[in-house]
């Protein structure tokens, strides 16, 4: 077993694309293809580059509607308790206007200045492409949900994680792609000791991480693109 150091990808370029292409479909033939993240990265041996993808609509309205379904929110300041449903919390009784007021901020920014990013959505499918710019190199692509991302951040051992198989591919060289594939389900339950992700998974935990692992003996440079497939082009 070996521990992998993590390199966070921070640059995201948005490239709106539409229509369908010839790919390994198991979904999405009638949906639109949206470029949601892309970058060029250099990865040293035994290291990882990754980017996190929000698998929900990142908007004030989306958070307000989630709050309306939540058993954790109500007028009682002590209602934020676990497990869900105990204590008589009143989130399900909030009107949309009350939920918007509770969320705060405005249509473009959250209450603490967070800029809502329109490329994120509850996509029905995902797809990725990797172009190897180096002459040689070997790498894996792993698709993780928040449950597994938390676990690997804690123990650092890729041999102990359960990557989503539909969008995971290992032992690659050269250029590769995968998808579109149906968006995987998000795991919930006991992540670590004293750390639980509730079921169903709350909106804040609905995210995926796209890992590129350099499994070779030399540094590699590559270009990646990630696409979300939805009912309409968002950008």
In tens, the pLDDT along 140-199 reads: 999 999 999 999 998 888 888 899 999 999 999 999 999 999 999 999 999 988 899 988
Q: Predicted confidence band at 69 (pLDDT cuts at 50, 70, 90)?
A: confident
- What pLDDT is recorded for position 72? 55
- C-alpha to C-alpha distance for 65 and 223, rounded to whole angstroms: 37
Q: Tell me: the pLDDT tens digits for 107-126?
A: 999 888 889 888 899 999 99
- What pLDDT is recorded for position 161? 85
Q: pTM for the complete prediction?
A: 0.78
- Domain extent at residue 81: 60-103
Q: To which H or E segment does residue 33 belong?
A: strand 32-43
Let me know whether 94 and 203 are in one domain: no
- On whether residue 177 sits in a domain, the answer given is yes
Tokens for 84?
A: 């869900």
| DSSP type of residue 26 | S
- What pLDDT is recorded for position 16? 33
Let me know whether 92 and 190 are in one domain: no
Let me know whether 26 and 67 are in one domain: no
Question: By three-state DSSP, how is residue 147 classified?
Answer: helix
Domain count, the chain: 2
21-42 mean pLDDT: 83
- On whether residue 111 sits in a domain, the answer given is no
Who's near 136: CB < 8 A, 6+ residues apart? 173, 216, 218
Cis peptide bond prior to 83, omega within 30° of 0: yes
Let me know whether 216 and 196 are in one domain: yes
Let me know whether 86 and 190 are in one domain: no
Let me know whether 38 and 127 are in one domain: yes
Given a cut of 60, whether residue 17 has pLDDT beyond it is: no
Q: What values do phi and psi take at 164, rounded to 5?
A: -70, 115
- What pLDDT is recorded for position 119? 84
């Amino acid at each position: 077993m070996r521990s992998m150091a993590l390199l966070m990808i921070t640059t995201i370029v948005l490239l709106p694309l539409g229509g369908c292409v010839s790919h390994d479909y198991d979904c999405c033939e009638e949906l639109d293809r949206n470029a949601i993240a892309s970058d060029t990265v250099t990865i040293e041996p035994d290291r990882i580059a990754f980017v996190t993808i929000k698998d929900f609509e990142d908007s004030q309205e989306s958070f307000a509607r989630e709050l309306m379904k939540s058993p954790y929110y109500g007028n009682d300041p002590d209602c934020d308790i676990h497990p869900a449903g105990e204590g008589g919390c009143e989130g399900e009784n909030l009107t949309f206007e009350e939920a918007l007021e509770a969320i705060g901020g405005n249509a473009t920014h959250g209450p603490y200045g967070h800029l809502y990013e329109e490329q994120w959505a509850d996509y029905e499918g995902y797809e990725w492409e990797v172009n190897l710019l180096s002459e040689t190199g070997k790498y894996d692509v792993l698709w993780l949900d928040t449950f597994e991302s938390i676990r690997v951040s804690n123990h650092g051992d890729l041999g102990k994680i359960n990557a989503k198989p539909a969008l995971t591919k290992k032992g690659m060289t050269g250029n590769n792609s995968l998808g579109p594939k149906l968006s995987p389900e998000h795991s919930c339950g006991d992540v670590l000791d004293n750390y639980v992700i509730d079921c169903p998974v709350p909106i804040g935990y609905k995210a995926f991480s796209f890992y590129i692992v350099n499994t070779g003996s030399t540094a590699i440079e590559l270009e990646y693109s990630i696409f979300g497939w939805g009912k309409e082009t968002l950008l």
